[in-house]
């Protein structure tokens, strides 16, 4: 067998490193996009926190096999680009979706999130997930709501106890037999007697 050329070995090592270092990688088909359109796509993906790269499928297959990402091999057919996500995968998926709406030649093929392979539908669904700050605020709100209810309950306990105590005192003062009975001198005469 032939020894691989050093350039190819370097590309496989680069792809392997990028795949393992990225939080996610999204694979797209770019057939039919012109160079200027690819430049706009790269710019929008970069602004969202990703890096859009084109490699030979064979070299990407070697890197994917080295990392045990067997789910990528079926996606590596035809002109395939890899979008390495350094930031929030949701933002990058949204950038790709927005670009694909204006340029139907861009097709999302699938991806990798962590060490899990994603289908094309799962990868597109990433674009529907709310951004990280929104999810964190929802989580914080979900955690705060029971605490606020508990604080309200703790405030209500002494207040309700005070109302109950006052009602008991009012009831006892209105008809409590323990109070001294009025003496006959102070009793008003009954009417009609």
pLDDT at 85: 92
**Mean pLDDT across the stretch 165-177?**
78
135 vs 132: CA distance, rounded Å: 5
Which tens digits make up the pLDDT trace of 137-165?
767 777 767 777 777 777 777 778 777 87
Indicate whether 45 and 140 sit together in one domain.
no
Indicate whether 73 and 104 sit together in one domain.
yes
Indicate whether 40 and 74 sit together in one domain.
yes
Indicate whether 50 and 75 sit together in one domain.
yes
Structure tokens given for 30: 């770019």
Indicate whether 53 and 140 sit together in one domain.
no
pTM here is 0.65
**Weakest-pLDDT range from 24-33, 101-110, 153-162:** 153-162
Among 129, 152, 185, residue at a domain's last position: 129
Indicate whether 86 and 147 sit together in one domain.
no
pLDDT bracket for residue 44 (50, 70, 90)? very high
CB count in 10 Å sphere of residue 84: 21
Q: How many domains does the chain have?
A: 2
Question: DSSP string spanning the chain?
Answer: -PPPPHHHHHHHHHHHHHHHHSSEEEEEE-TT--HHHHHHHHHHHHHHTEEEEE--HHHHHHHHHHHT-GGGGGG-SSSEEEEEESS-HHHHHHHHHHHHHH-TT-EEEEEEETTEEE-HHHHHHGGGSPPHHHHHHHHHHHHHHHHHHHHHHHHHHHHHHHHHHHHHHHHHHHH-TTSPPPPGGGSPPPTT-
CB count in 10 Å sphere of residue 95: 23
**Domain-located, residue 175:** no
- The parent domain of residue 164 ranges over 130-169
What percent of the chain has pLDDT above 70? 87
pLDDT bracket for residue 50 (50, 70, 90)? very high
pLDDT at 39: 93
Indicate whether 164 and 76 sit together in one domain.
no
**Domain-located, residue 93:** yes
Predicted confidence (pLDDT) at residue 185 exceeds the cutoff of 60:
no
Predicted confidence (pLDDT) at residue 192 exceeds the cutoff of 60:
no
**Domain-located, residue 152:** yes
54: Cα separation from own chain's centroid: 28
**Domain-located, residue 157:** yes
Indicate whether 42 and 111 sit together in one domain.
yes
Indicate whether 117 and 26 sit together in one domain.
yes
Which tens digits make up the pLDDT trace of 112-129?
888 788 888 888 888 877
84 vs 21: CA distance, rounded Å: 9
46 vs 42: CA distance, rounded Å: 6
């Amino acid at each position: 067998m032939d020894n691989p050329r050093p350039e190819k070995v370097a590309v496989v090592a680069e792809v392997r490193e990028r795949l393992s270092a990225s939080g996610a990688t999204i694979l797209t088909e770019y057939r039919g996009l012109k160079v200027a359109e690819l430049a706009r796509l790269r710019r929008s993906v970069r602004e969202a926190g990703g890096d859009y790269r084109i490699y030979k499928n064979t070299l990407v297959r070697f890197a994917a096999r080295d990392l045990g990402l067997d789910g990528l091999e079926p996606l590596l057919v035809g002109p395939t680009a890899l979008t390495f996500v350094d930031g929030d995968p949701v933002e990058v998926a949204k950038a790709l979706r927005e670009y694909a709406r204006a340029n139907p030649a861009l097709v999302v093929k699938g991806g990798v999130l962590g060490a899990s392979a994603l289908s094309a539908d799962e990868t597109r669904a990433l674009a529907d997930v709310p951004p990280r700050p929104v999810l964190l605020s929802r989580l914080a709100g979900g955690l705060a709501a029971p605490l606020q209810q508990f604080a309200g309950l703790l405030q209500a306990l002494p207040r309700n106890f005070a109302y109950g105590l006052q009602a008991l005192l009012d009831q006892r003062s209105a008809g409590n037999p323990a109070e001294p009975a009025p003496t006959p001198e102070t009793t008003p005469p009954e009417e009609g007697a």
